[in-house]
Amino acid sequence: MTTANASLHQNSWKLNWRFQFHRFCGAIRNVSIDPFRKIVYTKTAIVLGFAAGFLLSPRLWVSSRFYPLIPILHGLPHISFPLDYICFAGLFLLLVLVEVASKPRIYIYSFACLLLFLALLDQNRWQPWVYLYLFMLLALSCFSWRPDDIQGRENALNICRLIVGTTYIYSGLQKLNPRFAIGAPLLLGATPHRLQIFHAFGWFVACIEASIGIGLLTHKYRNLAVLGGIFMHLFILYSCAIVYQWNSVVWPWNIAMIAFLLLLFWKTDFTFRDVVWRNPIRFQKVVLVLFGVLPLLSFFGWWDSYLSASLYSGNVPMADVLLSTTVKSELPKRVQKYVTTLPGARNVLKIQDWSIGELNVPPYPAARAYRAVGAEICRYSYNSPDVLLLIEEKDTLLGRGVLSPDTCFGSLVVDKW
């Protein structure tokens, strides 16, 4: 190909790319949805997001598995087979009823009660997407579902806007840490020897995400924030689904977030005060505390990371279990495959690999949850002294996270097998 032809081909490609980009923006700009249909479509997006998440993490919602259940309180009942599968099927049935009912309030409450009951029995189920979907669904239950109830519809949608907006803000703020700055270049598929070049990329991404959340709650920059959010989620999907093909449970969540951006914020007319404070529904104040105030405590280590939009921030508690070859041989075969052999006849069970491998979700990042996993290993090994749980706490504004060891003769002790 001659130089002239190559230049012509390059210019043609650029023009085509620009044409497709403007065509996409034009299509988004012309999106217009009937006001009542917005809340209906929002409900549908939540239902489909929930259903997809459930289907991609089925073992998370049943008791017939090796990764331990971690109840919120000791002594809560253990649901065994087949009742655990019946409860799981009940979640789907109630989701269907929520979707098809013209007035779904009673079905939303029933679904929420069953889901909260299952969440009390296992903290691993407190995934960020579950948390967000649940409270958005509860916000929609505050609506009368009468087409003529215009103010009630906007009040319910404003609660959803508060949830989504604050989630973006805190998700960005949580990423403003050196750990994310170091790991973020991997999203680009950068090789280890080039990571140093892209360290600024992590800080840039964190600021952009927080800015999207702030922009959504403004009037002037709202549509721009919607476009920014859409491209951010498309990039995340590209990275997770195409580059790494990893953690498929968050793929539909990113698609649902794109739907929420369009349904809740695109070409809308509401004020910051409408979303943050001026709402007659009392549930809005509950949401404001849970999504707007309590996540601030996570920066001091006083509130859980996953309840503070800290997914993939790089700064959450982490833990691994070191064990001997003898202890490894006492583990079930399906657990042994997550054990890696280290130099010096030592083995490490990566809790994150075990959780994602069996449940298809990351482990709930809290020291109490990791100790419950360590206790399960102690149970398999009959409280062997060759089990060592290492927990690395998150960095907070009060200081760097410390590395704390624990053994079967410490707080992991199991009294009966």
The one-digit pLDDT tens for each residue of the chain (417 residues) are 555 555 555 555 555 555 555 555 555 555 556 777 899 999 999 999 999 999 999 999 999 999 999 999 988 888 989 999 999 999 999 999 999 999 999 999 999 999 999 999 999 999 999 999 999 999 999 999 999 999 999 999 999 999 999 999 999 999 988 877 666 665 555 554 555 556 677 788 889 999 999 999 999 999 999 999 999 999 889 888 887 788 899 999 999 999 999 999 999 989 999 999 889 999 999 999 999 999 999 999 999 999 999 988 888 999 999 999 999 999 999 999 999 988 766 899 999 999 999 999 999 999 999 999 999 999 999 898 899 999 999 999 999 989 889 888 766 655 443
What CA–CA distance (Å, rounded) separates 363 from 352? Answer: 6
- 162 within some domain: yes
Peptide bond into 82 cis (omega under 30): yes
- End of a domain among 259, 274, 307? 307
Question: The domain containing residue 43 runs over which residues?
Answer: 35-57+127-307
Residue 317: predicted pLDDT: 93
**Rounded Cα–Cα distance for residues 315 and 297 (Å):** 14
Query: Do 41 and 179 reside in the same domain of the chain?
Result: yes
Is residue 177 domain-resident? yes
> Domain for residue 364, yes or no?
yes
**Selection from 88, 155, 159, 166 nearest residue 121 by Cα:** 88
Question: Same domain for 43 and 26?
Answer: no
pLDDT at 245: 80
User: Are 142 and 193 in a shared domain?
Assistant: yes
- Do residues 223 and 266 both lie within one domain? yes
Whether 95 maps to a domain, the answer reads no
The tokens 């549908």 sit on which residue? 44
246 & 275 share domain: yes
In terms of domains, do 257 and 239 share one? yes
Instruction: Please indicate, yes or no, whether residues 3 and 149 belong to a single structural domain of this protein.
Output: no
Residue 26: predicted pLDDT: 58
* Structural domain includes residue 72: no
In a domain, 115, yes or no: no
294 and 278 housed in the same domain: yes
In terms of domains, do 10 and 154 share one?
no
Judge if 44 and 179 occupy the same domain. yes
Query: Would 223 be classed as within a structural domain?
Result: yes
Looking at 279, 307, 335, the residue that finishes a domain is: 307
Phi, psi torsion values for 236, nearest 5 degrees:
-65, -40
Tally of structural domains, the chain: 3
Nearest alpha carbon to residue 377 among 340, 324, 331: 331
Which two three-digit tokens encode residue 199? 């360290």
Beta-carbon count within 10 A of 206 CB:
22
Radius of gyration of the chain (CA): 23
CB neighbour list of residue 230: distance below 8 Å, 6 or more residues apart: 28, 258, 261, 262
| β-bridge partners, 322 | 348, 388
Q: Residue 362 gets which letter from DSSP?
A: P
* 211 and 292 housed in the same domain: yes
pLDDT of residue 205: 85
User: Tokens representing 400?
Assistant: 């760097």
Long-range contacts from 288-295, C-beta under 8 angstroms, 24+ separation? 288/162, 290/135, 291/135, 291/162, 291/163, 291/166, 291/167, 291/170, 292/162, 292/166, 295/166, 295/170
Residue 323 and residue 275 share a domain:
no
Q: Is 52 contained in some domain?
A: yes
